[in-house]
Amino acid sequence: MSRQPQIALLPDRRLHLQDGPIDLIIGADGSEADIREAYRAAAERFTGLLDELCAELPELRRAADPDHRALKGVVARRMHDAVASFARETFITPMAAVAGAVAEEILGAMTRTARLTRAYVNNGGDIALHLQDAATFSVGLMDRPDSEGVLRRMTLRADDAIRGVATSGRHGRSFSLGIADAVTVLARSAAQADAAATVIGNAVDLPGHPAVLRRPACELQPDSDLGHRLVTREVGDLSDAEVATALTAGERCAQALLSNGLIEGAVLQLCGTICVVGARPIEIVRPPQLRAAAA
Amino acid sequence: MVTETASDGAGDKIRCDACPVMCYIKPGAAGACDRYANQDGVLVRVDPHILLERTVSHGGKLVPFQASGDWDGKIVHQPELFVTAIGAGTTYPDYKPAPFIVSSVVEGVDMVTVVTEGIFSYCGVKVKIDTDRYLGPEAATVRADGEAVGHVTTSEYGSQMLSLGGVHHLTGGSKKEGRVTCDALMDLSNRKAVELTIDGGASVIVQAGQPPIVNGVKEERMRVGCGSATIGMFAKQWQGKVDEVVVVDDHITGVLSEHQAGKLLDIPATGIKMKGRRSTPGRYFQVAQPGTGWGGTDISDPLAILGPFDPKTAKPGTTLLMVSTTGEHAGYYVLDDALKPVQRDMPPELQFSVERIQENCEPALCTVLFMAGAGGSLRAGVTDNPVRLTRSVKDALTRVTSGGAPVYVWPGGGITYMVDVTQMPAGAFGYVPTPALVAPIEFTMTLSDYAALGGHMDYVQPLDSLKDVSKDIRQLPWPGQGA
């Protein structure tokens, strides 16, 4: 049976692609013909992509071997490569980079065939970016999916080397071993950002803290790649000192990744406290209403 | 069909076959996509607002989302395949063009169905509650969770009507009022039970297709007729078995010996004296206050509506049956020497007549009609000239359905329709935080008519192609032809 993804053009000219758990919102700037060509290429590449991944799903759900890559598919290999540098130190499966790797693949298909000044593929908050010349992207940060409005906004430029933005945290669709509300990572690729956000998100933690409710991942999702590992379900009241402790643990992890060149920057959020890690200052613009409230 | 899932022998988790990830999903949990969940062992589409929240998180902008709803297989299958709008997805303001514009051949005519989900700020539900019990005064405020969500409207035959929702409660009041109204409307439309309280009246639990529960008491039966009508229906069966019958009713209480039906059977006067206001012989208004007791009155002792028997006519030993309009309450009395009615065990043949009244009363139900108006922008998702769609609907060239269920389209301007929510697949409704309800709506017409009214012809997809694309197409009843 041939299964086709859902392909829809949104009224504001964005493209929506959905297949199973993959949900992409795509934007592109360029000539009319280039945009059409880019969208066509995106839809074409997207068709069958999920089947490709599922063909290797058992392997993708296993802990990555830092020295050996058994995977065949181009997206699967990208997932593996993104997590391999973490695999020596910690348990991680290629699934930690699936969203970013898919976003990158679709963006690649678009930019290979069309001349675009700017494009993005947003895969549920894991975003692959294309920036040319003087183009910029404005990226909003939120602490949790159900909050209204963005907390911070930052501007990404073509010369930033940042081509991937990913957010991980306990409110997202995937499970987190840590307690961060959100960890947003800027990296050279979306897959890299995705994997790093997972790792940093896991590091923001207060091991054994009684206010943190954890459950084995497999109890919640029988086929989770995290198996029996405890994932965070709820975080009760934490003191300011405890929040600082957890954030510092995450910050240390992020700093290490930064100095190894694995990420370009990160924003860690926990219980309303924000911690920014970056080689150069990320331009963070507080929305006016927050500025007014702070004044 | 999505609901035909292979059950995993090892446990209560099910394996979703909606996509090749083939997630195992535990009861109460959702799959990796957050679109499908295991609800009591059945794979269902999850509630749309969860997805909407997720979507908002994906960059802070709304994108089309998948609404909930899955076909529960309850309605008879018919051969034509019909695409419903449930899960079609939409955005606010409305999508242009509608998510699916599907062509299929029905009865040899090339048909087009424009499938969309409308976001309705102008919507509400009309609730019919089969009960004679007093729910509250007309125009009284109806509340859910303490917030005003609607009002009591006119009483209809054997039932009380409520009008809930509407744009003033959804968006005209406080934020909480809007949210509570939206929740109540969505729950009622999705056939969930909602507790409503009426200012100066009763508390009632309403659930479409289920008996109302008034002040904690489940309503069993809808009366067969008013008290007077009941006398007319059963007079002959009472003749010779009892001297007098009073059918207690808050609207019109009937008295056998005085009633036209009794006169025709030459039933003699008994000297009975009724309270209340006599309308015509044997028919009395306002014998008591409205309430939740006998026949929708506030009484628990039926003798309270009787005055002293007239000693000139009444005789000791006269037998009297008092019964409510539904047969739910009944008592048998015999006049003593002082002409006072004294309760006695009911003779079997009278018990039989009481049961006969009960038998003739239909089960009391709550019915919920969802009512909404398709605004210009929704219509623009269907055609580039919205008013032509309205005209086409009015000219009966275009059929409107909601989740595949037939609708009644109001005459007059716009496309304002009503649909019985029990005819729709379960979980067909969602909401957006506006607040407004999301309801499926489909417009079906011939392909040539669609072209003529300025349809988005470039977006028409043959049904065959869509069948492969989406698992959301299910067999649904094609509403009666030519209805």
List the CATH number of the domain containing A163.
Answer: 3.10.520.10
At residue B445, does pLDDT exceed 80? no
Q: How confident is the model at residue B316 (pLDDT cuts 50, 70, 90)?
A: very high
pTM, rounded to two decimals: 0.48
A208-220 burial code (b ≥16 CB/10 A, e <16):
ebeebebeebbeb
Interface-testing mutation among B8, B16, B19, with chain A (most A C-beta atoms within 10 A): B19
Residue A142, domain extent: 6-294
The reply to whether B174 and B238 lie within a common domain is no
The reply to whether B52 and B42 lie within a common domain is no
The reply to whether B444 and B384 lie within a common domain is yes
Per residue in A208-226, pLDDT tens?
999 898 988 888 888 888 8
Tell me how far apart the alpha carbons of residues B16 and B10 are, in angstroms, rounded to a whole number: 15
Please give the tally of structural domains in chain B: 4
Domain finish residue from B334, B359, B384: B359
Q: Does A173 touch chain B (CB under 8 A)?
A: yes
Tell me how far apart the alpha carbons of residues A24 and A102 are, in angstroms, rounded to a whole number: 9
A87-106 burial code (b ≥16 CB/10 A, e <16):
beeeebbbbbbbbbbbbbbb
Please give the DSSP secondary-structure letter assigned to residue B482: T
For residues B442 and B113, the answer to whether their CB atoms sit within 8 Å is: yes
For residues A223 and B14, the answer to whether their CB atoms sit within 8 Å is: no
Which residues of chain A have a CB within 8 Å of the CB of B31? 21
Instruction: Look at B63 and A16 and tell me if their CB atoms are within 8 Å.
Output: yes
Alpha carbon A126 to chain centroid distance? 3
Give domain status of residue B143, yes or no.
Answer: yes
CA proximity to B325, closest of B360, B349, B352, B291:
B360
Give domain status of residue B474, yes or no.
Answer: no
At residue A239, does pLDDT exceed 70? yes
For residue B381, the one-letter residue type is G
Which residues of chain A have a CB within 8 Å of the CB of B26? 219-222
- Using CA atoms in the order B133, B134, B138, B144, what is the torsion angle rounded to 10 degrees? -90
- Considering chain A, what is the average pLDDT of its residues? 85
Calculate mean pLDDT across residues B316-332: 94
Q: Does A208 touch chain B (CB under 8 A)?
A: no
Which residues of chain B have a CB within 8 Å of the CB of A50? 19-21
At residue B4, does pLDDT exceed 70? no
The reply to whether B391 and B421 lie within a common domain is yes
**Chain A residue closest to B90 (CA)?**
A10
At residue B46, does pLDDT exceed 70? no
Q: Does A25 touch chain B (CB under 8 A)?
A: yes
Give domain status of residue A101, yes or no.
Answer: yes
Range with the poorest average pLDDT among B18-22, B82-86, B418-422? B82-86
Range with the poorest average pLDDT among A49-63, B50-64, B150-164, B402-416? B50-64
SS3 for B315-361, per residue? CCCCEEEEEECCCCCEEEEEECCCCCEEEECCCHHHHHHHHHHHHCC
Least CB–CB distance from B54: residue in A6, A173, A219: A173
Least CB–CB distance from B19: residue in A50, A150, A220: A50
For residue A258, give the H/E element and its range: helix A240-259
Which is it for the CA torsion B132, B136, B142, B147, positive or negative?
Answer: negative
Which residues of chain A have a CB within 8 Å of the CB of B96? 11
Give domain status of residue B367, yes or no.
Answer: no
Q: Which residue has the tokens 């613009």?
A: A285
Q: How confident is the model at residue A141 (pLDDT cuts 50, 70, 90)?
A: low
Alpha carbon B228 to chain centroid distance? 28
Give this complex's ipTM: 0.79
Which residues of chain A have a CB within 8 Å of the CB of B22? 54
CA distance A175 to chain B (A): 11
The reply to whether B327 and B236 lie within a common domain is yes
CA proximity to B15, closest of A215, A259, A223:
A223
Q: How confident is the model at residue B301 (pLDDT cuts 50, 70, 90)?
A: very high
For residue B129, give the H/E element and its range: strand B123-130
Domain finish residue from B178, B205, B220: B220
Q: Does A51 touch chain B (CB under 8 A)?
A: yes
CA proximity to A45, closest of A117, A99, A108, A128:
A108
Which residues of chain B have a CB within 8 Å of the CB of A14? 63
- Considering chain B, what is the average pLDDT of its residues? 77
Q: Does A8 touch chain B (CB under 8 A)?
A: yes
Give domain status of residue B481, yes or no.
Answer: no
The reply to whether B312 and B190 lie within a common domain is no
Give domain status of residue A78, yes or no.
Answer: yes
Return phi, psi of residue B333, to 5°.
Answer: -135, 155
CA proximity to B93, closest of B113, B118, B116, B68:
B118
Tell me how far apart the alpha carbons of residues B174 and B192 are, in angstroms, rounded to a whole number: 24
CA atoms within 13 A on the CB side of B166: 11
Q: What is the pLDDT of residue A172?
A: 67
How wide is the angle at C-alpha B27 spanned by C-alphas B405 and A224, nearest 5°? 120
At residue B51, does pLDDT exceed 80? no
Give domain status of residue A1, yes or no.
Answer: no
Cβ neighbourhood burial of A113 (10 Å; 0-12, 13-18, 19+)? middle
Question: Between B68 and B17, where is the model more confident?
Answer: B17
Q: Does A19 touch chain B (CB under 8 A)?
A: yes
For residues B421 and B369, the answer to whether their CB atoms sit within 8 Å is: yes
Instruction: Look at B53 and A145 and tell me if their CB atoms are within 8 Å.
Output: yes
For residue A33, give the H/E element and its range: helix A32-46
Share of chain B above pLDDT 70, in %: 75
Instruction: Look at B33 and A20 and tell me if their CB atoms are within 8 Å.
Output: yes
The reply to whether B331 and B386 lie within a common domain is no
Give domain status of residue B460, yes or no.
Answer: yes
The reply to whether B249 and B351 lie within a common domain is yes
CA distance B440 to chain A (A): 18
Calculate mean pLDDT across residues A47-74: 91
Q: What is the pLDDT of residue B440?
A: 80
Tell me how far apart the alpha carbons of residues B441 and B438 are, in angstroms, rounded to a whole number: 10
Which residues of chain A have a CB within 8 Å of the CB of B66? 18
Question: Between B381 and A286, where is the model more confident?
Answer: B381
Least CB–CB distance from A20: residue in B20, B58, B63: B20
Residue B172, domain extent: 123-157+166-220
At residue B219, does pLDDT exceed 80? yes
Which residues of chain B have a CB within 8 Å of the CB of A3? 19-20, 468-469
